[in-house]
Each structure stands twice: as structure tokens, then as C-alpha cells.
């Protein structure tokens, strides 16, 4: 419970790092993975999901990339240079493009979180258009 509260505080403050991202991924895996979580979402029946398939291996690859990073790289992803990306890719057995993709996704997520935790996100929450409290 404390871990979840701390993660929520970090999320609201916009201080989430790759360690937090890894923790969230592991929690999702423990709950049955993305496919199971999507099936539990209100309003999403099997028909509405259609042929939507979630590649669970992608979560494993992401986890491998993050685990190939040093603690300093996980807490400050902006320091990851080309040579570090090369080492990380070699460490997890994937390509540099995969490392780049993860870093870009993480950056996009950070941007989105900052948008929704700012004044515009609070306005959407008051209007009931953004269902997740920040």
C-alpha cells in the first residue's frame, strides 16, 4: 500500500523514473498481464475488444532493457548516450532501436502525465472527462 501511495505521489509530481515504470510493469504482469487487465475494464466486452491482441513478450523485452541499465541510468534516463544504448542493447540481447523505442515511449508517457497533472488535467477531472484522479 505504501509503495502504491509513493508511486502516486511521484506520478503527480512528474518525478517518475524507469524504476517506477519497471515496478508498474511487474505489477501488471502479476495481475495477469495487459490482456487480462483490458478484459476487466468496465465497458470493454469481448466483442468490443475484437481481435485486439497484446504482445506480452513486449513487456518482457522492456523489462530486459530496463534491467540492463545501471541504477543511475534508470533514475536519470536523459544521461543515456549512444554508447550506453549500445551497451544496454548488448546486455539484453536486443537492438539499439529497441532501447530507443523504450526511451521514446517513456518520454511520451512523462509528457502525458505532466499534461494531465497540470491545470488542464484538473479541469478535465472536474468536468468528469478524465476518469483517473491525479
CATH of the domain at 63: 1.10.260.30
What share of the chain has pLDDT > 90, as a percent?
39
Domain extent at residue 71: 2-118
pTM over 0.85: no
- pLDDT higher for 57 or 97? 97
Q: Has residue 112 been placed in a domain?
A: yes
**What confidence tens digit (pLDDT) does each residue in 99-108 have?**
999 999 999 9
Under DSSP, is residue 43 helix (H, G, I), strand (E, B) or coil? coil
Number of separate domains in the chain: 1
> Has residue 58 been placed in a domain?
yes
86-92: long-range contacts, CB 8 A cutoff, minimum separation 24: 89/65, 92/61, 92/64, 92/65, 92/67, 92/68
**CA 121, CA 14: separation in Å to the nearest integer?**
13
Identify the DSSP state of 128.
Answer: T
Cα–chain-centroid distance for residue 87? 22
- The answer as to whether 66 is a domain residue is yes
Residue range 74-110, pLDDT digits in tens: 999 999 999 999 999 999 999 999 999 999 999 998 8
Q: Which region, left, alpha or beta, applies to residue 43 given φ > 0 means left and ψ of -120 to 50 means alpha?
A: left
Amino acid at each position: 500500500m505504501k509503495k502504491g501511495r509513493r508511486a502516486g505521489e511521484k506520478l503527480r509530481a512528474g518525478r517518475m523514473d524507469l524504476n517506477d515504470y519497471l515496478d508498474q510493469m511487474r505489477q501488471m504482469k502479476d495481475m495477469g498481464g495487459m490482456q487480462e487487465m483490458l478484459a476487466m475494464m468496465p465497458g470493454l466486452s469481448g466483442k468490443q475488444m475484437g481481435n485486439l491482441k497484446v504482445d506480452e513478450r513486449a513487456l518482457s523485452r522492456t523489462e530486459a532493457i530496463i534491467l540492463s541499465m545501471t541504477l543511475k541510468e534508470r533514475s536519470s534516463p536523459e544521461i543515456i548516450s549512444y554508447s550506453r544504448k549500445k551497451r544496454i542493447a548488448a546486455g539484453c540481447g536486443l537492438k539499439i532501436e529497441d532501447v530507443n523505442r523504450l526511451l521514446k515511449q517513456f518520454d511520451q508517457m512523462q509528457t502525458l502525465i505532466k499534461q494531465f497533472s497540470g491545470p488542464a488535467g484538473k479541469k478535465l477531472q472536474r468536468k468528469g472527462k478524465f476518469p483517473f484522479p491525479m
